[in-house]
Amino acid sequence: MPLDKDEYESVEEKEEKIEQTTEQLPIEQRDLVVGDIVRHFKREWVSETTSEYLYKILAFASHTETGERLVIYQGLYPPFKICARPYDMFMSKVDKKKYPNSKQQYRFEKFNE
pLDDT tens-digit profile of 29-39?
Answer: 458 999 999 99
Residue 33's CATH number: 2.30.30.320
Q: Is residue 2 part of a domain?
A: no
Q: Is the confidence at residue 21, as pLDDT, over 50? A: no
Higher pLDDT, 112 or 51: 51
pTM: 0.72
- Between CA 1 and CA 15 the distance in angstroms is 25
Q: Whole domain around residue 76: which residue ranges?
A: 9-110
Q: Is the confidence at residue 18, as pLDDT, over 70? A: no
Neighbours of 40 (CB within 10 A): 21
What pLDDT, on the 0 to 100 scale, is given for residue 112?
A: 85
Higher pLDDT, 21 or 4: 4
- Between CA 72 and CA 3 the distance in angstroms is 27
Q: Is residue 3 part of a domain?
A: no
- Between CA 14 and CA 20 the distance in angstroms is 10
Looking at residues 60-77, what average pLDDT do you find?
96
Q: Is residue 1 part of a domain?
A: no
- One-letter amino acid at 8 equals Y
